[in-house]
Each structure stands twice: as C-alpha cells, then as structure tokens.
Amino acid sequence: EAQVTQNPRYLITVTGKKLTVTCSQNMNHEYMSWYRQDPGLGLRQIYYSMNVEVTDKGDVPEGYKVSRKEKRNFPLILESPSPNQTSLYFCASSQRGRGNTIYFGEGSWLTVV
C-alpha cells in the first residue's frame, strides 16, 4: 500500500530540547516536502527536496533543518524548539511533475511548552 509515514504522531516537548520528526515513503518518489498547518494560515511549506542530497527552503524554514540521505526518508529536525513551533506538521511526497498525485502523511501534532 502506498503510504507516507510520519513519527511521532503526537509529541509534547519542552523549549530547547532537540527533536526529529521522521518521514518515510514507500513509493520511490523523488519529491518530498514538509508543511506546517496553523489556524487561519493554511499549510505553509517549510522545506522541500527534489531528490537525494537536494533540499531547499520553503516559505517558513527558520528554526528547522532537513536532510535527504536516502530517497525514502526526509526527517524534519528542530534543533532548539520554541513555543511558536507548536503546530500540526505534514510530510508529503510525489513523483516529479505537477500533475502527479501528492501523498500526505497523517500529520504530527507538536506542542512545545
């Protein structure tokens, strides 16, 4: 079954404690991306990757890091989380090409206190 898997799904953490949200897809997709969803703001792109070792900033990259060492994995790293990073995070993947279906993970609820 085609899927994008994110972990953890729910996390409460404290300010400054580094955390990683993992994302894995089983469809051999080149394109992967991270979004955050906040009330009234829709989904905003954090980082994206066109292929292994190729990553670029989205609209709201501050405070986040990513890496793409393998095609299937695209972890999101919060080196020093702050309360303004409390949000719902989505990982997404697709084949390159604008019409291709974009698959989303189930979302990760992150609360930073």
For position 28 contacting other proteins by CB under 8 A, the verdict is no
Q: Could you tell me if 46 and 23 are in contact, meaning their C-beta atoms sit under 8 angstroms apart?
A: no
For position 87 contacting other proteins by CB under 8 A, the verdict is no
For position 34 contacting other proteins by CB under 8 A, the verdict is no
Among the listed ranges 17-25, 65-73, 78-86, 87-95, the one in contact with other proteins (CB under 8 A) is: 87-95
Measured in residues, the chain has a length of 113
CB-side neighbour CA atoms (13 Å) of 10: 0
Q: Which of 5, 7, 22, 58 binds other proteins (CB under 8 A)?
A: 58
Helix (H, G, I), strand (E, B) or coil at 78: strand
Lookup: tokens for 53: 């070792």
Q: Which of 1, 10, 28, 42 binds other proteins (CB under 8 A)?
A: 42
For position 82 contacting other proteins by CB under 8 A, the verdict is no
For position 90 contacting other proteins by CB under 8 A, the verdict is yes
For position 17 contacting other proteins by CB under 8 A, the verdict is no
Q: Could you tell me if 13 and 100 are in contact, meaning their C-beta atoms sit under 8 angstroms apart?
A: no
Which whole-number Å values give the CA distances from 23 to 61, 62, 83, 113, in the listed order? 17, 19, 22, 23
**Interacting residues with other proteins (CB under 8 A):** 31, 33, 35, 40-45, 48, 50, 58, 88, 90, 92, 94, 96-99, 101-102, 104, 106-107
